């Protein structure tokens, strides 16, 4: 098949570092992340709870909570630096060219504002629509995300909706302005599996229609396998592996990714062996080991892993990269 996709870079994150100002001084939670998304591309970001997925994305939008800040690195969107642009410029990008679906709809929807007004707001602010036009578009968006009786739902307050409905409202808001980039942070966790699949299909469809790029954050690699072009695997605030999705499934390289993939249950597995999760827990912020952050849990660990931090390096010159001394050495030997 011919690759017709352009490879123009839309989002480019380099060495992004985020620190939390805690009681025992600053602690690194996002440690020099490199991520990129090309125009029209969909990137899946996976990793277990607490590995820094949400903080990474919030830092791009400069929406980090109090006492958490970016201390190093850069992020450019469409050639413009997100970290240094003025607040006014950033407001134009946020919710306009970059649509965001936050992980927790209850804290990101305004509890005292009707759902319809919350969907209309970006349309009026970013796209200069008149109220009537914006309402018509809001109805269309609610229908698109599978909300029945959308005209009546516009009048509802967030607390009058179920968790799944609120999540769909968030998705409608994220998509409202036909963004160039949609960043979706666990957008379907509160939904039934059938609805999850519908939302994945909806995003696929819109991506094809609008040429939108997507960053989809999840724990659930299986859910997004058919949606994403490429996957970045995060561990303890760093990217430990990234590769085209088929390549990642065919040849997972980093021991952490291999652990993640073998913990995806297969129907053919006997029930008892379905969740073979990785032993141990990730390091707490402020207690990062000196070397590779995965070393304390790694089945392949060697002396060097406790001493030095491995860099993300291409494997055999391909677009598949892994940050692991052992994997890199095996590649060289091969
Ligand atoms: N407001 C906060 N105050 C203090 N620590 C925080 C705060 N938000 C996040 N953290 C810490 O920062 C680290 C990264 O958090 P983050 O929310 O980015 O993880 P995540 O990968 O999105 O996890 P999940 O899959 O559970 O959403 C975690 O150790 C978390 O405990
Ligand atoms: Mg999160």
Question: Does 264 score more than 70 pLDDT?
Answer: no
58 lines ligand 1 (CB under 6 A): no
- 76-80: Cβ within 8 A, 24+ apart: 76/11, 76/12, 77/10, 77/11, 77/181, 78/10, 78/180
**CA of 67, closest atom in ligand 1:** 3
Q: Are 142 and 156 spatial neighbours (Cβ–Cβ below 8 Å)?
A: no
Question: Does 321 score more than 70 pLDDT?
Answer: yes
How far is ligand 2, taken at its centre, from the CA of residue 239, in Å? 15
237 lines ligand 1 (CB under 6 A): no
- Ligand 1 pocket mutation, candidates 16, 17, 20, criterion most atoms within 8 A of CB: 20
Element (H or E) spanning 287, and its range? none
Extract the runs of DSSP E, i.e. beta strands, from 94-163.
98-101
pLDDT digits (tens, 9 = 90+) for 162-195: 888 898 999 999 999 999 999 999 988 878 888 8
65 lines ligand 1 (CB under 6 A): yes
In angstroms, the CA 220 to CA 295 distance is 23
How far is ligand 1, taken at its centre, from the CA of residue 54, in Å? 7
pLDDT digits (tens, 9 = 90+) for 274-303: 334 677 888 888 888 899 999 999 989 999
Q: Are 32 and 50 spatial neighbours (Cβ–Cβ below 8 Å)?
A: no
pLDDT mean over 138-161: 93
Element (H or E) spanning 29, and its range? strand 25-38
How far is ligand 1, taken at its centre, from the CA of residue 196, in Å? 24
- Ligand 1 pocket mutation, candidates 55, 60, 67, 217, criterion most atoms within 8 A of CB: 55
Question: Does 108 score more than 90 pLDDT?
Answer: no
Q: Are 214 and 174 spatial neighbours (Cβ–Cβ below 8 Å)?
A: no
Ligand with smallest separation from the Cα of 101: 2
Q: Note the helical H segments in 161-192.
A: 163-175
pLDDT digits (tens, 9 = 90+) for 195-230: 888 888 888 988 888 889 999 999 888 888 889 999
Which tokens sit at 226?
A: 């058919």
- What are the residue ranges spanned by the domains of the chain? 254-334
Q: Name the 3-class secondary structure at 279.
A: coil
pTM for the model stands at 0.91
49 lines ligand 1 (CB under 6 A): yes
How far is ligand 1, taken at its centre, from the CA of residue 184, in Å? 16
pLDDT-derived band at 241 (thresholds 50, 70, 90) equals very high
Indicate the average pLDDT of the chain.
89
Alpha carbon of residue 251 to chain centroid: 22
């Amino acid at each position: 098949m011919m690759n017709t996709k352009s490879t123009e870079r839309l989002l480019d994150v380099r060495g992004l570092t985020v620190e939390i100002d805690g009681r025992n001084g600053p602690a690194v939670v996002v440690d020099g992340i490199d991520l990129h998304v090309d125009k029209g591309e969909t990137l899946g970001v996976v990793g277990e709870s607490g590995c820094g997925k949400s903080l990474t994305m919030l830092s791009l939008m400069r929406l980090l909570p109090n006492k958490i800040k970016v201390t190093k690195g850069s992020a450019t969107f469409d050639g413009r630096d997100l970290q240094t642009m003025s607040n006014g410029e950033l407001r134009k990008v946020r919710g306009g060219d970059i649509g965001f679906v936050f992980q927790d709809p209850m804290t990101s929807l305004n509890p005292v504002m009707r759902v319809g007004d919350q969907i209309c707001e970006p349309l009026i602010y970013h796209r200069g629509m008149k109220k009537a036009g914006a309402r018509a578009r809001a109805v269309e968006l609610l229908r698109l995300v599978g909300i029945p009786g959308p005209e009546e739902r516009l009048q509802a307050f967030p607390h009058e909706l179920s968790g799944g409905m609120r999540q769909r409202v968030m998705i409608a808001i994220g998509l409202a302005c036909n963004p160039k980039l949609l960043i979706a942070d666990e957008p379907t966790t509160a939904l039934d599996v059938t609805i999850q699949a519908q939302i994945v299909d909806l995003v696929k469809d819109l991506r094809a229609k609008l040429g939108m790029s997507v960053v989809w954050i999840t724990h659930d690699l299986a859910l997004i396998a058919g949606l994403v072009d490429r996957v970045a695997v995060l561990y303890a605030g760093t990217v430990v592996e990234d590769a085209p999705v088929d390549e990642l499934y065919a040849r997972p390289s980093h021991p952490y990714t291999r652990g993640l993939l073998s913990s995806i249950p297969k129907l053919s597995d006997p029930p008892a062996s379905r969740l073979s999760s990785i032993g141990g827990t990730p390091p707490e912020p402020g207690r990062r080991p000196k070397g590779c952050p995965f070393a304390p849990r790694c089945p392949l660990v060697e002396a060097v892993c406790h001493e030095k931090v491995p860099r993300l390096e291409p494997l055999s010159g391909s677009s598949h990269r892994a940050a692991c001394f052992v994997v890199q050495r095996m590649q060289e030997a091969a």
